[in-house]
Amino acid sequence: MADGRDFREDMQRIGGLVQEMESIADPSVRAATKGLVQSLMDLHGAALEKALDIVAEAGDPGMNIIDRLGRDPLVSSVLILYGLHPEDVEARVVKAVEKVRPQLRKQGCELELLGVNEGEIRLRVETGSHACGSTAKTVHATLEGAMYDAAPDLTSLVIEGLEEKSASGFVALDKLMSGVAIMQQPVALEPNGGD
């Protein structure tokens, strides 16, 4: 059975083939190839939509099946591709945020969804005082993965608050050395009066 990773690899391979198709020198062959791909997409999309309509006609049991299909990573991605997913982008993003929030809390971070607008997702992360650059990179990668898995149809992802921070109490060597240079300035000592 295919998993999410296989689907991403398949999508990358398809993307590569589309780029190759775009580079076909003969315009009539390129147009025919594009027409073939579009016709297949239209046929598959119409068939999937009809299948979902038939399932939905079963009432609540059918709607439960459609919901389950929407939660399956592979089927969900295909439904999104054809604009047939039972949930919109915002609903999928909200669920993804709720799912990833406990994992980020374990890393000392708080996550806030600022908004979803026409496919643009805006998040804010507050990191603890002991967070370092590697934590920020890990959190960023975690959020990117979660958002793209939930909403591969997003148009942009903005994550605020993950600017690299130095660990609490850490002083960079160049800053430390500039302080040493100041301390090495000669200091006039006063005589010890009384000996």
> Does the structure show a pLDDT above 50 at 36?
yes
Residue 55 has pLDDT above 70, yes or no: yes
Which pTM was predicted?
A: 0.65
Count of domains forming the chain: 2
Backbone angles phi, psi at 116, to 5 degrees: -130, 120
On whether both 73 and 145 belong to a single domain, the answer is no
Residue 98 has pLDDT above 80, yes or no: yes
What one-character-per-residue DSSP string does the chain give?
Answer: ---HHHHHHHHHHHHHHHHHHHT-S-HHHHHHHHHHHHHHHHHHHHHHHHHHHHHHTT-HHHHHHHHHHHHSHHHHHHHHHTT--SS-HHHHHHHHHHHHHHHHHHTTEEEEEEEEETTEEEEEEEE-TT--HHHHHHHHHHHHHHHHHH-TT-SEEEEES----PPTT---HHHHHHHHHHHTS--PPPP-TT-
Question: Does 182 reside within a domain?
Answer: no
pLDDT band of 122, cuts 50, 70, 90:
very high
Do residues 48 and 103 share a domain? Answer: no
Q: Please indicate, yes or no, if residue 188 is contained in any of the structural domains.
A: no
129 inside domain: yes
Say yes or no: 53 and 107 in one domain.
Answer: no
**Mean model confidence pLDDT for the chain:** 81
Q: What range does the domain containing 38 cover?
A: 4-81
Give domain status of residue 36, yes or no: yes
Is residue 137 in some structural domain? yes
Same domain, 94 and 168: yes
